[in-house]
Amino acid sequence: MLAPVKGVEAPTAETRAVLLANCPKDLTGQQWLKLMANPENATLYPLRVTQAMLDTLDATKLDLRYHYVLVKQEEMSRLGGR
């Protein structure tokens, strides 16, 4: 588990799932979560979500510190999400 970033609340379980689904293939999940724990990075990298993701998680619990973009499943696969 990641050590919390001082002064930054940990993301919700739903947001963590979306973060990991967006992890670039050249980073480990832990590296990506650490990178995205920085509030500046959270605003720079929009997180892609698919309709299937929204159907399986409670979207009301997504952390609003992040920017979400709805994409088709094919685009998610093409852009390198896990």
Q: What share of the chain is helix, strand, coil (3-state, %, to 5)?
A: 45, 5, 45
Task: Classify residue 8: in a domain, yes or no.
Answer: no
Q: Tokens 């973060």 sit at which residue?
A: 19
Task: Classify residue 63: in a domain, yes or no.
Answer: yes
Which residue in 61, 29, 69 sits closest to 37, CA to CA? 29
The model's pLDDT over 52-69, given as tens digits with 9 standing for 90+, comes to 999 999 999 999 999 999
Section 16-42 average pLDDT: 93
* pLDDT at residue 1, as a whole number: 44
Q: Look at the chain and report how many structural domains it folds into.
A: 1
Domain that holds residue 52: 13-78
Task: Classify residue 3: in a domain, yes or no.
Answer: no
